[in-house]
Copies of this chain bind each other. A is one copy, B any other.
């Protein structure tokens, strides 16, 4: 028997073993494909027109702290690459020690969300970035002050000209927000689960596959669906019980009702996408729960009336970990910013 033939014989034997569970596995994959979808290869086309110069500029501005009032806070402050686009805090601290009211969700795959922020009051990643550039907590500057800071750093003139060639005075907060949004649209993290959805069953461990089955059977996919496994609808947090008892939240957040004034929106939030969820504790709109197994159990109980046992939770967690992708290189690596000092306060 030649070496090649031995290898083929071994492969055939391995195939025969995995075929034992073949029927169940194809059913599970088929079921999964009904509810969830692989990550798109790109999302730029879904946003406003952008080009490479806009994306490049947006990457610089994402890491740029000098435009905020004391020059300390950039997008990367609350959305740190090392922490998978979060800051690991329950709620973030902005400029001058001002506390954000809700947890900072990751920017990774955020462009998949149908709206942004927990209450859906940001239409897109571009809208989120533009508003953050002038918000009192995250920036402390108005549009003019942001533009003034950018004007003072000599390197930005040419970068804005290259990105927005038709404009006479392209250094604006609006353009900065557009550029940051265009950069965020590139922050996609394909994961082992996408390889699974593409047909590579062994991309998930047996316990992750068992977790996927439980995730489907329990009904989690009713909301955590699509390419983001969430992020495409609103839902009341605490369908069957008040959430704040289970989460031990310090404050009761009324949710989207404060945006819409619609009584049906009481305690309603945008459903969180679950990609990279294992890397982004703490959980929920107020970061009130630190451990992923606890978050899973609370969700099943409050939203679906299911008391998950330890074995089920112990499978769902590795399934959720299969949604972790590698950091995009242009996100992990900080770009070199054009030099220039933060001006002294007047």
Contact = CB atoms under 8 A, between A and B. Distances in A.
A70 to B, nearest CB: 6
A274 to B, nearest CB: 14
B282 A341 contact: yes
Contact of A93 (B72, B333, B334): B72
A80 interface: yes
Number of copies of this kind of chain in the complex: 2
A197 B341 CA distance: 30
A280 B335 CA distance: 15
A339 interface: yes
Interface in A72-121: 72, 77, 80-84, 87-90, 93, 96-97
Contacts of A278: 339
Nearest to A98: B97
Given A281-B339, A290-B343, A341-B282, A87 B72 contact: yes
A13 interface: no
Interface residues of A, number: 42
Contacts of A340: 88, 281, 290
Contact of A84 (B63, B81, B333, B339): B339
Given A97-B97, A287-B341, A290-B341, A335 B88 contact: no
B337 A82 contact: yes
Interface string A330-346: 00111111011111100
A327 interface: yes
A89 B149 CA distance: 13
B80 A334 contact: yes
Q: Which of A77, A341, A342 has the most CB of B within 10 A?
A: A341
A293 interface: no
Contacts of A285: none
Interface string A21-65: 000000000000000000000000000000000000000100111
A106 to B, nearest CB: 11
A71 interface: yes
